[in-house]
A and B are shown apart, each in its own frame.
Chain A
Amino acid sequence: MKGILCRLFIVVCCAIGFWGMNFGSCQAAPSHKVESFHYKSYKDGDRDWLKIEIGLSRDNLEYEVSDNPDKPNQLLVLMKNTKPGEIKKNIGLDRKIARYMTVREKNKNDLQIMIATDGDLATHEYKVYTVEKDKKTRKPYRLVIEIAGDEGKPVDTKPVPDIPEDELMDSVAGHTIVLDPGHGGTDNGASGPSLLREKDVTLSISLEAARILRENGARVLMTRFTDVDVFGPVATDKQELQARVDVARRDPSVEMFVSVHCNAFTNSEANGTGTYFYPHSSRDAMLAQYIQNEMVHSTGLRDRGITSARFYVLRNSRVPATLVETAFITNPYEESMLANVRCQYTMAKAICRGINNYFRDTLR
């Protein structure tokens, strides 16, 4: 009996040993490891460049550069026999030349870098090369990817929407409207796969909408003009939301409250544009529907319709109020729309048109 047990023990040990060896054989010969990452924008004459440097633990990196025929805005660099180290999987870039970069392990031992450029890759000059370790500056051996803003032309730092595109909205003149850019300051709101922040998008769209409304003769109050908390950085949620409501309550001439947000969901599939209201009176739903119609019409996004919801800023408003969920920041396609200045302008204009239509049809 003892003999059998002994034998069994040996067999089990052997089996475990085999198992261990199997694991061991998965590990390949010495590989490169990403040890540092950074990028910077610089000017070469009047050309803008984005320089990305990926520091590696060893030299003699083999790499392949390619583009993706299905996705014309992607530059792919396959780093052979490289481990990701501590590098993040999604990295936001300068957003002018390239929007973001993703890092994925591929073919077991390789690392695939994807850089999403702003506009097609074909409109950018780019170069990929390696640089030897520099002891003086203590820089490691590194892979460098440089992408130019364009071919010879400098990138516009702030493409200003053409004024002629603004259309006449003749029903908003003389009315007072509160615009509320969602979140801000210590509260980033939701963020997208390439780390676009909701609070930045809502502010851009709201500022643009305020400009259009004012040009058409409306008086616009904003709950915030910059990246700040409306109440203060250490406010409770209630104080913060109430502070936004109070901007409308303080001024008796205010006729409308419009909050601008970006939607988010755990699953990146969720998409579309939607508008929320709290039914104090029929006017809330009307305002929401007018804005929703224009948003769907001008963005072409899926129509999620108008929804009655118990949202704090809507419930506590004393004037018709609505909350526009422009698009899903968690959906990669819609995130890139939200990051785009022209799309932001389109959305701002759609909101203004909805407001204009509301005044046109309800007050005359």
Chain B
Amino acid sequence: MKITKILISMLLLVAVFMISGCNNTDVTKQDKPSAGVTTNTDKPADDTLEIKVYFPNNDASKLVAEKKKVKLKGATKYRAAMDALLAGTDDRKLTTVIPKDAKVLGVTVTGDTAKVDFNKAMVDKLSGGSTGEEMLVGSIVNTLTEFPEIKKVQIVIEGRKVETLKGHMDTSQPITRMEELLK
């Protein structure tokens, strides 16, 4: 009896160390719940969709499509695609351009145009530069126009149309797919 108790105690001690060790290394990953985005490929549920999300490569010479499985969880596929974009990429060859604090406030679709609304952090925290701005807008527009029914994307900030995000690109009108960034 005593031996089993000691054995159990020792096992528990080991378990506790293992758990705390895990916590230490995995904190960053677990802290990033990305609104329904998951890279699990082994659980294809009914509301799981495979979409293409665009990220710029590290030298910002083009956008590269990354396949992601997203769980809709009641959200529209457009919203899920935007959340997947904002969640960023783990690919070392690609860069996450969307500022960390940026949030999607909503995505609405009218006809062939998607209107995507972001909070102000999207503009304030962006580092600027033509290339940075181009890649940011391109990744949003190309990810949404990946859905065949979407032809144009209007970017708005906290409900309002903006002339430009960072002083270069004209974002006052809906933007069509930016094929030139994919070459």
Report if A and B associate in a common complex.
Answer: yes
Listed in ascending order, the chain A residues whose CB lies under 8 Å from chain B are 3-4, 7-8, 11-12, 14-16, 19, 182-183, 187, 189-190, 198, 236-238, 240-241, 261-267, 269-272, 274, 276, 304, 307-312, 315, 323, 325, 328-330
Tell me the complex Cα distance, A309–B96, Å: 21
Taking A236-B163, A270-B60, A311-B170 as contacts, is the C-beta distance between A14 and B13 under 8 angstroms? yes
Verify A237–B59 contact, CB threshold 8 A.
no
B12 within 8 A of A: yes
Name the one of A11, A189, A274 contacting B131, with C-beta atoms under 8 angstroms: A274
Taking A12-B12, A241-B163, A271-B59 as contacts, is the C-beta distance between A309 and B134 under 8 angstroms? yes
CB contacts (< 8 Å) of A237 on chain B: these are 162-164, 167
4 additional A-B residue pairs with CB within 8 Å, beyond A266-B127, A307-B134: A237-B167, A310-B170, A311-B170, A312-B164
CB contacts (< 8 Å) of A311 on chain B: these are 130, 168-170
Taking A265-B95, A266-B97 as contacts, is the C-beta distance between A190 and B127 under 8 angstroms? yes
Verify A266–B95 contact, CB threshold 8 A.
yes
Min Cβ gap A256→B in Å is 19
Tell me the complex Cα distance, A315–B175, Å: 14
Verify A323–B168 contact, CB threshold 8 A.
yes
Verify B95–A267 contact, CB threshold 8 A.
yes
CB contacts (< 8 Å) of A272 on chain B: these are 59
B75 within 8 A of A: no
Q: Which 8 pairs from chain A and chain B are nearest by CB?
A: A264-B129, A190-B128, A238-B163, A270-B60, A15-B16, A267-B95, A263-B129, A312-B170
Closest to B61 in A: A304
B58 within 8 A of A: yes
Min Cβ gap A338→B in Å is 12
A-B pair number, CB within 8 angstroms = 124
CB contacts (< 8 Å) of A274 on chain B: these are 130-131
Taking A11-B12, A187-B167, A312-B169 as contacts, is the C-beta distance between A263 and B131 under 8 angstroms? yes
Closest to A305 in B: B61
Interface size on B, residues (CB 8 A): 34
Taking A190-B127, A241-B163, A309-B169 as contacts, is the C-beta distance between A265 and B135 under 8 angstroms? yes
B5 within 8 A of A: yes
Secondary structure at chain A's binding surface: helix, strand, loop or mixed?
mixed
Tell me the complex Cα distance, A311–B131, Å: 12
Tell me the complex Cα distance, A16–B59, Å: 46
Verify A264–B164 contact, CB threshold 8 A.
no
CB contacts (< 8 Å) of A263 on chain B: these are 129-132
B180 within 8 A of A: yes
Verify A328–B129 contact, CB threshold 8 A.
yes
Closest to B168 in A: A311
Query: Taking each of A238, A264, A266, A307, which has the highest tally of chain B beta carbons within 10 Å of its own beta carbon?
Result: A266
Tell me the complex Cα distance, A312–B173, Å: 11
Min Cβ gap B142→A in Å is 15
Annotate B156-183 by CB proximity to A: 1 below 8 A, 0 otherwise. 0000001110011110100100001000
Min Cβ gap B72→A in Å is 29
Tell me the complex Cα distance, A276–B180, Å: 13
CB contacts (< 8 Å) of B167 on chain A: these are 182-183, 187, 189, 237, 240-241, 312
CB contacts (< 8 Å) of A7 on chain B: these are 5, 9
Verify B96–A266 contact, CB threshold 8 A.
yes
Annotate B82-102 by CB proximity to A: 1 below 8 A, 0 otherwise. 000000000000011100000
CB contacts (< 8 Å) of A262 on chain B: these are 129
Tell me the complex Cα distance, A271–B58, Å: 10
CB contacts (< 8 Å) of B13 on chain A: these are 11, 14-15
Tell me the complex Cα distance, A213–B58, Å: 37
12 contacts between A and B (CB under 8 A): A4-B5, A15-B20, A238-B172, A240-B167, A262-B129, A264-B132, A266-B95, A266-B96, A270-B59, A274-B131, A276-B130, A308-B180
Verify B127–A312 contact, CB threshold 8 A.
no
